[in-house]
Each structure stands twice: as structure tokens, then as C-alpha cells.
Amino acid sequence: MEKLLANQFALVTGASSGIGYGVAKALADAGASVALNYHSHAESAEKLADEINQSGGAAIAVKADVSNPADIDAMFEACRARFGTLDIVVANSGLQKDSAFAEMTLDDWQTVLATNLTGQFLTAQAAVKEFRRRGPTSVSKALGKIICMSSVHEVIPWAGHVNYAASKGGIQMFMKSLAQEVAPERIRVNSIAPGAIRTQINRDAWDTSAARDKLLELIPYGRVGEVEDIGKAAVWLASDESDYVVGTTLFVDGGMTLYPGFVDNG
């Protein structure tokens, strides 16, 4: 049976670890050729690219700081040089610099906004231009698909993380406004909003049993998420199976956004 993303070319930013790594792997497993962007960890991006290439897929690792327009241009150029074009762009790069509000430095604020919000702006803008340059293809009903990596914190306020929550709240309206603007061209823009997914970014929240028990109080479904949970959602959102899904945030969070604190209270 033909794979869901056969003959499509994808770029995943922030693919050297965590959710980006899982998404890149899932897209490759679904038949896409994948460009794995990394910022500082070349080894893991190159290792995954080697694995994909050795198992009959196609992948490259590309270094870029997504908050830097020149890096974005060079990254898209590298994708065009290797694959000819892109059909799927996952704007995933993100980071946390947590601190109590009064102690948060301007640098903590600007660094998080630069990667999490400006990075998605620059990545999506380059994607739209590439889809337009290339024109329609037979590999997908859409001219192109953009997936923004958001978070449950696009709607759940998060004390001690105002920079991060502001960036993800920003992604919500960024994604929807962009989706509205480019939908007539059959460019589909959607977000995935992961809950607590077991990666290095939130290791403190799951790596002791005390921390995990506390975290599970926030997750009605009773387990911490895995990057594969997000990978599967990304494959679906990138495929024609979701062709009529436009401007939506898909929460993949085990019910974290269901206000679990209200189960026996309120």
C-alpha cells in the first residue's frame, strides 16, 4: 500500500530532539523525504538523517537559527537544492526560559519570543513563498501544508512562564490569521498543541515518581504523552486525510485542557 506522504517533501524545524525529532521520524515513516533542521545539535539530526537514508528514505540535516532571516533563506535553498521543493513545513522550533515574572530578564523574554514566535513567522513566510513559486502538484490536493507547533499554553495560563505562554498565545492568532489569508490558495495552515510530552524540555515534571504523580493530576487520560503521539497527529495533518481541516488547533494532550481540577470541585 502506498504510504500516506509518499513523494512529498517536508521540513521540520527543531528536529534534533524532542517533539521535532519524533515528528520528523513519523513523516519519514509515512513516506516523506525530510529536511531535519537543527540549531546546535548536529550529531542527533545527522544520525536521524543517516537512519532514514539507510532505511530507504531520503533525509538531510540543515543547520539554521530560525529567528535569523538569512539562515531561513539558506535553509530553504538547501531544501530546494536537495529536493526541488517542499510540500510540508512543520514550524516546530521552541524553547523555554522560565523564571518568576519580576526576575525575568529582557533577554529571557526576547529569546523565547524570537524562536517560538518570530521563528514560526519566518519559517511560515518562506514556506508560503516556496509553495507559490512551485505551483500545484499531483502529490497533494493542497498547494502546501504548514503545521505550527503550539502548546496547551496557547490557552492555559502558566505562572512562571509568561514569555513561553505569550509566545504560544501568539501562535494561536498567528496561525489562524495566516490560515484565513492563504486558504483561498489551498495552503492549509494548522497547529498541534501538545500537552505534557516526555522530552528533555520538561524532564523535571516527569523524571521522579513524585513529580510524575503531580503531573498526572493534570492529565485525565492518565499517562504522560510520547513524541510518537505528536508524530501521528502531524502525519494526519500533513496528509490529504485532513484536506478539509483549515486553521484548527489540534490538542494532543490527554485531556489536559479539560480543566481536570474541576472533576470534584467548583
Segment near ligand BGC (CB under 6 A), from 3-11, 108-116, 136-144, 193-201?
Answer: 193-201
Distances (CA, A) of 137 to 8, 85, 125, 144, 247: 10, 11, 20, 9, 22
The verdict on 151 binding ligand BGC (CB under 6 A) reads: yes
Smallest gap from Cβ 161 to ligand BGC, in A, equals 8
Size of the residue set binding ligand BGC (CB under 6 A): 9
Given 152, 162, 237, 252, the residue binding ligand BGC (CB under 6 A): 152
List the one residue from 20, 144, 195, 254 that touches ligand BGC (CB under 6 A). Answer: 195
From CA 118, how far away is CA 23, in angstroms rounded? 21
Residues 260 and 23: their CA atoms lie apart, in Å, by: 27
User: Footprint of ligand BGC on residues 68-127 (CB under 6 A)?
Assistant: 96
Contact pick of 104, 205, 211, 245 for ligand BGC (by CB under 6 A) = 205
In order, the DSSP letters of 208-222 are SHHHHHHHHTT-TTS
Q: Does 149 bind ligand BGC (CB under 6 A)?
A: no
Residue 148 within binding range of ligand BGC, rule CB under 6 A: no
Q: Which set of grid coordinates corresponds to residue 30?
A: 509515512
Q: 58 or 113, CB closer to ligand BGC?
A: 113
Q: Of the listed pieces 41-49, 55-63, 195-203, 239-247, which binds ligand BGC according to CB under 6 A? A: 195-203
Q: How far is the CB of 158 from ligand BGC (least distance, A)?
A: 7
Q: Is 155 in the site for ligand BGC (CB under 6 A)?
A: no
Query: Does 202 sit near ligand BGC (CB under 6 A)?
Result: yes
Torsion of CA 121, 40, 33, 235, to 10 degrees: -60
Q: What is the H or E stretch that residue 51 is in?
A: helix 42-54
**Is 221 among the catalytic positions?**
no
Strand blocks (E) in 40-116: 59-63, 88-91
* Closer CB to ligand BGC, 135 or 157, in the complex: 157
Contact 88, 63 (CB under 8 A): no
Complete DSSP assignment for 146-189: EEEE--GGGTS--TT-HHHHHHHHHHHHHHHHHHHHHGGGTEEE
Q: Write out the catalytic residue numbers.
A: 164
Q: Applying CB under 6 A, which residues contact ligand BGC?
A: 96, 151-153, 195-196, 201-202, 205
